[in-house]
Amino acid sequence: MQSILAELNDGSADIDASAIISTEGLMLASAISGEVSEDRAGAVMASISSLADRAMREFKLGNLEQLVMKGRNGYALMIQAGEYAALIVIGYGDGPEWSLALLRSIPAAGAISDLLTPGFGWSMEGPVGIPQGSI
C-alpha cells in the first residue's frame, strides 16, 4: 500500500499527501507530512465519509464513491477503495488541481481495493498475489 501512495504522490505535482484509511477510521498507510495527525485525520475522514454516505442514501444516489472538499488553501478528496477502505488525497493550492488529482487517484483506489479484497490481495498474514504494475 505504501508503494501505491508513493507512486501517486511522486507522479503528480497536484498531490501533496495521501493516505489509506479503513472504514473504521484506522490509518492503514500514509504519505502525510508531520504537521497532520494521522490518527485524527483517519477518524475525521471516517466520520465525514459516514455522514456523506448516509446523505447519499437519503437522496437515493447509492453508496458514496467519491467526496471532494475544497477550501481556500487546497482540497481533500476521498475515493472509496472497495468496501473496506478509502484513499484520501490532499493538495495545497487554489487552482483546479483537484480535478486532475481525482483522475490520477481513481486507478490507485482500484489497486488498493484489489489489495484489500479477501482472497485476492490480503490475508491475515499480509499481502498475497499483488499484481505488478497495478497502477
- Give the tens place of pLDDT for each residue, 7-34: 988 887 888 889 999 888 888 999 887 6
Closest by alpha carbon to 64, among 123, 75, 77? 77
Torsion angle of the four alpha carbons 108, 111, 115, 120, in this order, in degrees rounded to the nearest 10: 170
pTM score, whole prediction: 0.80
Predicted confidence (pLDDT) per residue in 38-86, tens digit: 888 888 888 898 899 899 999 999 989 999 998 888 899 999 998 889 9
Task: State how far the Cα of 56 lies from the Cα of 32, in Å rounded to an integer.
Answer: 28
Residue 18 near residue 7, CB atoms below 8 Å: no
